[in-house]
Amino acid sequence: MQNTDLRYLKSLSNQYPTVAAAATEIINLQAILSLPKGTEHFITDIHGEYDQFQHIIKNGSGAIKRKIDDEFGNAISAAEKKAIATLIYYPEQKLKQVLKTEDNMEDWYKVTLYRLIRICKSASSKYTRSKVRKALPKDFAYVIEELLTGRPDISDQEAYYNEIINSVIRTGRATELVIAFCNLIRRLVVDHLHVVGDIFDRGPYPNLVMDTLMFHHSVDIQWGNHDVSWMGAAAGNPACICNVIRISAKYGNLNLLEDSYGINLVPLARLAMNKYDKDPCNCFKLDYREDEYDVRDALLDEKMHKAITIMQFKLEGQLIKKHPEYEMEERLLLDKIDIKKGTVCVEGEEYPLRDTNFPTIDWNDPYALSSEEADVMDRLTTAFQNCEKLQRHMRFLFTKGSLYKVYNGNLLYHGCVPMNEDGSFTSVEIFGKRYAGKALYDVLENYARKGYYAIDPEEKKKGQDILWFIWENKNSPVFGKDKMTTFERYFVANPKTHEEPKNPYYRLLNNEEVVNHILEEFGLNGEEAHIINGHIPVEAKRGESPVKCNGKLLIIDGGFSKAYQPKTGIAGYTLIYNSYGLLLAAHEPFESVDKAVQEGSDVVSHTVLVEHVVKRKRVADTDVGRNLKESIGDLEALLRAYREGVLVEKSAER
């Protein structure tokens, strides 16, 4: 036996000091391997749409309804099933409604609790008692455990079981117990949540989405380009800060920064009023929601929108000139403006400008910030870096997130693997070395983390620049387009200049050889391996399918964001992966929580794909299962060491 192996076994013996302890743990882990795998829920491109996100999370993309149907079948009516589903989604709100309309609450509590217990038993059946126990709310841990494990069908336990429920009602705790059961059911039905990118931008409440995710029992996140922009802003990259403010202004969400994150935008407002007071800012009209925006703020917000946009173009130009290896020189457009003619030259062609008022641009040095802009930028950078709530949310993204994830035989990423037309991986220069495929993802993620965490100023600055590169470079895995035509969309009317050609990856998605090549690059193979992809809205109303390459690749962005829904025709795709296989669903827009509670309305979901596995998946078939098998192997080695006298049981040493 190697010395390192012996040292490890000695360390392991502190946790399992006897033959009996090691053998018991082997038995326990071996039994866990035979349980069905937990249900995974995949969701992407939330874009701040908190209500839609919250409802999809609460109903598990239909998993709660399916659990109710499986348990009750035709034993209760469709209306009763709908009522209990709504109760599980929104217990507090639904109970308020019930208290107003129900004549006999004691009977209602009894019937409802018995039904919730049945659903909860079914949902908990794929877990160990220990895991269920850890999920129980502290106030009702004993009561719920007794109700879940009791046998009211046996005469010896019937009275005991019923008396627990009667006592809960009599002591006035029934409402709290109902809520506890509903929360527990949601917790047990979905074992793990994957968020495949783009929590931020466009919608008004990404902060609430982040708060929810931070309290989720088990979640991972694959960064989207909009998330990375916010991460770069929190790290202190000025171009990312401008981009975050610009998009917030464009969609009428500046209050998110001011009220929710406490970012002081007064210096920017002063600059905007000083430089653009008489400017109608016609190119900077807001795309706001009338029911969620105070139109009295529009005039100032439009001026702030223009002020921060000009600052962004300047700062991005500085980065492009600093990093010629980014190959973005064609995006240097401020110096291509002929202010006397009122035109701009884009890729060799001259176009008239829609707006020629640029009071802060020095035409001898168009990418330099004016002294006023530089002062505003310093203040904004300090505000972003010192915002405790923003930093807490971004640290969570860094801790729980990554550019890609391989999980239970599936590859998850937000955008694309940058490719050439022939299906080969694009080679990209990052600080003097070239990377492609998985290696490109790894090096970009490494530098992104340095941009936030590094102590060395030079490494930190490199990382901050890479965070901006990930946001909009053509070779960024989470962007996936040849260019970002932000300037042209503001200043050039010709729609030809607005086009953003996609990476060849998106034209090769139905090529099985290419998709298999990607899976192999990330260490996956076999018929049951899939790519789960976000980022590009699927235009369902034009007949586009999210299922590519005979089901090997699934694009689950379908328009959570209300800004995308006119184009996509739906409100997003989500994916469920349980022990029986994959279920891809397309969702109609969610109206409101009030309507869901009052009328029992739910998101109408249409099953797009059902892919059944040949053999039901067990924990043994998962990543957790592989880790458990390794632990079993270690424990068996410890057991042999005890029995061969290499190690002495701790109790026998005394």
What's the CA gap between 242 and 135, in Å, rounded?
42
Do residues 573 and 584 lie in contact, with contact meaning Cβ atoms separated by under 8 Å?
yes
pLDDT digits (tens, 9 = 90+) for 253-312: 999 999 999 999 999 999 999 999 999 999 999 998 777 788 888 999 999 999 999 999
Query: Domain end: 424, 449, 472, which one?
Result: 472
Residue 375 pLDDT: 98
For the chain, how far is it from start to end, CA to CA, in angstroms? 26
Q: Is the pLDDT of residue 400 over 90?
A: yes
Residues 222 and 341 in one domain: yes
What pLDDT does 5 receive?
A: 86
Q: Is the predicted pLDDT of residue 32 greater than 90, yes or no?
A: yes
**C-alpha to C-alpha distance for 509 and 100, rounded to whole angstroms:** 54
Average pLDDT score, the chain: 91
pLDDT band for position 534 (50/70/90)?
Answer: confident
Query: In the predicted model, what is the mean pLDDT of residues 123-145?
Result: 90
Q: Can you read off the two tokens belonging to residue 97?
A: 């409604």
Q: Contact, 577 vs 40, CB < 8 A?
A: yes
376 with 271, same domain: the answer is yes
Percent of the chain with pLDDT over 70: 92
Tens-place pLDDT, residues 509-531: 889 999 999 999 999 988 889 99
- Report whether pLDDT(504) > 90: yes
- Look-up of token digits 């880790």: 627
Same domain membership, residue 210 and residue 156: no
Domain stop point among 443, 472, 501: 472
Pair 69, 135 in one domain:
yes
As a whole number of angstroms, the distance between CA 593 and CA 465 comes to 41
- Residue 192 tokens read as 């793990």
Residue 113 and residue 243 share a domain: no
Query: Last residue of a domain, which of 449, 472, 495?
Result: 472
pLDDT tops 80 at residue 612: no
Using CA of residue 596, residue 597, residue 600, residue 602, what is the dihedral sign? positive
Within-domain flag for 67:
yes
What is the arithmetic mean of pLDDT over 473-490? 96
Q: Residue 578 in 3-state DSSP?
A: strand
Bridge-based pairing of strands 553-555 and 530-533 is parallel
- What is the structure's pLDDT at 606? 60
> Rg of the Cα trace of the chain?
28
Distance of CA 207 to the CA centre of its chain: 12
Distances in Å between the alpha carbon of 102 and those of 29, 97, 113, 165, 533?
Answer: 47, 9, 15, 19, 46
Residue 653 has pLDDT above 80, yes or no: no
pLDDT surpasses 60 at 564 = no
Q: For residues 116 and 122, what is the distance between their CA atoms, to the nearest angstrom?
A: 10
Same domain, 93 and 22: no
- Assess whether 364 and 231 both reside in one domain: yes
Task: Let me know if residue 146 belongs to a domain.
Answer: yes
Number of compact structural domains in the chain: 3
Region 127-141: what's the mean pLDDT?
Answer: 90
Report whether 465 contacts 322 (CB < 8 A): yes
Model's pTM, two decimal places?
A: 0.92
Average of pLDDT values for 432-451? Answer: 98
User: Residue 183's domain spans which residues?
Assistant: 47-189
Flag whether 544 is in a domain.
no
63-100 pLDDT, tens digit each: 898 899 999 998 999 889 999 999 999 999 999 988 98
> Tokens representing 18?
């006897």
Mean pLDDT of 587-591: 70
Residues 455 and 361 in one domain: yes
Grade residue 122 by pLDDT with cuts at 50, 70 and 90. Answer: very high
Strand partners, 405: 412
73 & 176 share domain: yes
Tell me what pLDDT residue 566 has.
Answer: 60
The alpha helices in 386-437, defined as continuous H runs, are 388-400
**DSSP 8-state assignment for residue 259:** I
The pLDDT confidence band at residue 403, using thresholds 50, 70 and 90, is very high
> Rounded to whole angstroms, how far apart are CA atoms 291 and 221?
31
Same domain, 24 and 53: no
Residue 548 lies in a domain: no
Same domain, 349 and 439: yes
Distance of CA 547 to the CA centre of its chain: 20
Sequence length of the chain is 654
Residue 428 lies in a domain: yes
611 vs 602, which has greater pLDDT?
A: 611
Q: What is the mean pLDDT of residues 567-583?
A: 77
pLDDT of residue 539: 61
